[in-house]
Structure 1
Amino acid sequence: MPTASASRPMYEVIEEWLVEQCETLGPGGNLPSEVAVAERFGASRMTARRAFQNLAEKGLIERHRRIGSRVRPAPLHRQDSVLRPLTDEMRRRGLTPTSRLIHAGLGPNPLAAQQLGLPATEWVLTIQRLRFADGTPVALETACLPNDFADVLEEDLEQGSLHAALAHLGRTPARATGHVTARLATDEEADLLELDPPAALLVESRLIVDSTGRRVESTQSAYVGSRWVLDTGAYGAPSSLTSPA
């Protein structure tokens, strides 16, 4: 086992060993606890903690009070020009998509109703799910739909796709508009997404219409900033290409 020397402190030795464990375990792998590592190297827990913290600051691992430390999962990439369910995005990358249903039901939501083109007093269907990729939570998603889509609750929303459920009702999502903002996770969100606060979230708000132009879904997805990447592209405006430098 590597040992410390006068010119090499123990936390660096532990850090080097942890890097080797990260390479062996791969993205999402769980590392031993601080206590176990400290005992392995005959070091104090504070020394082991410093090694873990250094790797977290370098972006190699994630730490959480409840689940411990694990190798940082590879971020999930998504093209901004393609309307594709997150379930399909994960499967295209060889990941296993699952969801945990947090809430589903009808109720008042004036803002969502207006976004869907409905009277503010009309109830909407709200579905909140925690989305996972290979067992790692990547997003907390809240989707609001018109109340006449309540039949989607009969579908498997934990193993399946909400868009597939809409298609079964004859409402195929065709186009989306939206925007992305950034904020810190609330304590509840951090706990669900297995993050230690303060933690950054990228929040995407989208309005989806079907092939007839009807508004069928207003969704807000809070993605873990380190686990989600939006791939973008743009063309130069014609005026900027022809104007003198």
Structure 2
Amino acid sequence: MGAPRYIEILDQLRERCAGLAPGTKLASERALAEEFDVSTMTVRQSLARLADEGWVHRSQGSGTYVSRPTVTMGPSLTSYTEDMRRLGLEPSSKVLRFETIKPDLETVTRLELRPSERAIVLERLRFADGEPMCHEIGVFPSRLADALGAADLAGSVHEALAEWGVAPYSTFRRVRAVVAPERECELLGLPSPSPALEISDTFADALGQPFQHVRTRYRFDRYEVLSKIDRLPGAAR
């Protein structure tokens, strides 16, 4: 037995939206019903699911417009690549800079480097289905030079490092809103000036040894952070 008709239409409309610019108006429910040879109720069901997924937004009395799914970053430790794949989007990256540097004091402190130890900086522009999503600058201790040198830096660095026995077990994270500088607005396809969601992570392995400090600025219109917060035991009610 095949998938329900509204699911088939949903799949086709999702693929159609992926190829259209945000803000594009879709055909009316009646026109879509005629196109797919179904009732308007069936089309309405497909559009409702599409809206729940974030691919469209519906304006009463105006119509249905293409948008893009919002990526929810939850309390679990997941990578950019995992987040994109979960949404059915194809992740990719463009390497903007990859070099060995003399680390500043913040990098030395966060990565617990020795005074004379060098660091490796990796700057990337990251995409989902070819659309820029975030600008990322990460620094690593020089002991990971061989692992990073052998890695596909356009892919998942964490997956590559895991093959060398270095995997993220925990992170210290800071989230804040910033104004993206002109260069980042240009890279992300945003008008300048625009806000951005800045997330700084210091990742550590299972032994608590930090191995990456990364500052990522995400498009304000595509990301949100979700947290579950519990009251402390014994706190006054």
TM (norm. structure 1) is 0.69
Q: Deviations over 1:24-44 (max 9, x none)?
A: 9525723799xxxxxxxxxxx
**Can you give the 5+ residue segments of structure 1 that lack an aligned partner in the other structure?**
1-22, 34-58, 61-69
Could you tell me how far 1:212 is from its partner in structure 2?
Answer: 1.7
Please tell me whether the aligned partners of residues 23 and 67 of structure 2 are also in contact (alpha carbons under 8 angstroms): no
Structure 2 distance, partners of 1:114, 1:227, is 32
Letter in 1 for 2:211: V
Report the Cα distance in structure 2 between the residues aligned to 1:28 and 1:226, rounded to whole angstroms. Answer: 18
Q: Give the counterpart of 2:150 among 151, 154, 177.
A: 154
Q: Does 1:191 align with 2:186?
A: yes
2:88 is the counterpart of 1:104: no
Distance of aligned partners of 1:147 and 1:137 in 2 relative to their CA distance in 1, 3 Å threshold:
same
Deviations 1:161-213 (A, max 9, x none): 11011112211111111111111111100010010112111111111110122
How many Å separate the matches in 2 of 1:91 and 1:31? 20
Q: Counterpart of 2:137?
A: 142
Q: 1:177 to 1:31 in 2, by over 3 A?
A: closer
User: Do the aligned partners of residues 24 and 130 (structure 1) sit closer, same or farther apart at CA in structure 2, a change above 3 Å counting?
Assistant: closer
1:208 aligned to which of 191, 197, 203: 203
1:26 matched to 2:17? The reply is: yes
C-alpha change, 1:168 and 1:72, in structure 2 (3 Å) is: same
Q: Distance in 1 between matches of 2:123 and 2:194?
A: 20
Percent of aligned pairs with the same amino acid: 28
Corresponding position of 1:225:
220
Q: CA deviation at 1:72?
A: 3.8
2:112 partner SS:
coil
Cα drift, residue 119 of structure 1: 3.3
Q: Is the 8 A contact 1:202 1:223 kept in 2?
A: yes
- Deviation (angstroms), 1:225: 1.1
Q: Is the 8 A contact 1:130 1:139 kept in 2?
A: yes
Specify whether residues 31 and 146 from structure 1 end up closer, same or farther in structure 2 by C-alpha distance, changes over 3 A only.
closer
Give the alignment's TM-score, normalised by structure 2: 0.71
Indicate the residue corresponding to 1:85 in structure 2.
Answer: 79
One-letter code aligned to 2:185: A
Alignment length (residue pairs): 185
Whether the 8 Å contact between 2:22 and 2:68 is mirrored in structure 1 is: no
Gaps of 5+ in 2: 1-13, 25-55, 58-64
Q: Deviations over 1:17-66 (max 9, x none)?
A: xxxxxx99525723799xxxxxxxxxxxxxxxxxxxxxxxxx97xxxxxx
Provide closer, same or farther for how the CA distance between residues 31 and 210 of structure 1 changes in structure 2, counting only shifts above 3 A: closer
Distance, in Å, in 2 between the alignment partners of 1:24 and 1:206 is 33
